[in-house]
Amino acid sequence: MAMDADASNMTPDAADFVLAVDSVSLIRQRRPLLQDVSFHVRPGEHWALLGPNGAGKSTLLSLCGAREHPTRGEVHVLGHRLGRVDTHWLRSTIGHVDPRSRIEPWLTVREALYTGLFGAAGLRRHWAPDTTEKELAERLLASLGIEEKADRKWEVLSQGERGRVLIARALMPQPSLLLLDEPTTGLDLAAREIRLKVIGQLRDLRPELATVMVTHHLEELPASTTHAMVLADGQELACGTAEEAITSGVISEAFDYPVRVERRNGRWSAIGS
């Protein structure tokens, strides 16, 4: 399905946003996973979804990625309303970084990038990249500092190297929206900082790109974060600019534990008080 073919599903308001979530609730087996949640993401904004385990962050990210549908409310992704669009096609236009993604171990780094065009673990049989796809892959390899590793096998890469590849892979469809699902999970300190630095560089690499990142650790937020939503028990506690939403009071309420939030050199931390 081409973008123009679905233009009738776009509304003037939704078309102004990369992502528009309006009064959304999601109920599974009579249990509310999200309750009356709303937020709007514009091009070039970098959002964080924060909250403790079970707060509804991953569920909300699934809606953003067109992998779930709301029970109530409306979700527009790239101007298209869920329920009125081919979600298989829509998902193919969204970048998704998940450290748990499976990549065939025998693929080279360059080949792993190409799998981002299909959202698959491997390459399609008899498929070959065209000139434009080859050029894009080479630009991404260079931009993210992994061109020298282009011919290495996925199975021999370090966790830090894999993180860069996953980000480059997610950018292969040239998305307007990039979703990051706890991208620093399982990393040691050095690997985490390298990955956050790469995520921060996306602002210069793709200024118009909007991102939504899930985490429950403030120290895992890149300095490029512009906005945040804080969730607890499926409900919105705060939503707005990072400075407005990430405060000691809000984070203490979300995690039901008194903390003092600090920000130094663009990075956040929370200290028990």
Do 180 and 84 share a structural domain? yes
Do 213 and 114 share a structural domain? no
- Tell me what the pLDDT averaged over the chain comes to: 89
Do 232 and 170 share a structural domain? no
Q: What is the pLDDT of residue 13?
A: 63
The answer for 251, left when phi > 0, alpha when psi is -120 to 50, beta otherwise, is alpha
Do 129 and 39 share a structural domain? no
The answer for 207, left when phi > 0, alpha when psi is -120 to 50, beta otherwise, is alpha
Do 244 and 179 share a structural domain? yes
Across the range 13-19, mean pLDDT stands at: 79
State percent of the chain over pLDDT 70. Answer: 95
Out of 151, 174, 197, a domain closes at 174
Least Cα distance to 261 among 215, 217, 229, 195 occurs for 217
Least Cα distance to 228 among 248, 213, 249 occurs for 213
Tell whether the model's pLDDT for residue 1 goes beyond 60.
no
pTM comes to: 0.88
Do 132 and 112 share a structural domain? yes
Q: How far, in Å, CA of 152 to CA of 138, rounded?
A: 14
Q: What is the pLDDT of residue 15?
A: 67
Choice between 223 and 121, residue whose per-residue pLDDT is larger: 223
Tell whether the model's pLDDT for residue 175 goes beyond 90.
yes
Tell whether the model's pLDDT for residue 34 goes beyond 90.
yes
Tell whether the model's pLDDT for residue 137 goes beyond 80.
yes
Q: What is the pLDDT of residues 198-209, one digit of tens each?
A: 898 888 889 999
Q: What is the pLDDT of residue 110?
A: 94
Total domain count, the chain: 2
Do 257 and 159 share a structural domain? no
Q: How far, in Å, CA of 99 to CA of 185, rounded?
A: 7
Tell whether the model's pLDDT for residue 9 goes beyond 80.
no
Q: What is the pLDDT of residues 86-127, one digit of tens each?
A: 988 898 899 999 888 889 999 999 999 999 888 788 888 888
**Domain around 85:** 4-94+175-272
Tell whether the model's pLDDT for residue 74 goes beyond 90.
yes
Q: What is the dihedral of CA 27, 33, 38, 39, to 10 degrees?
A: -130
Across the range 141-151, mean pLDDT stands at: 90
Do 204 and 153 share a structural domain? no
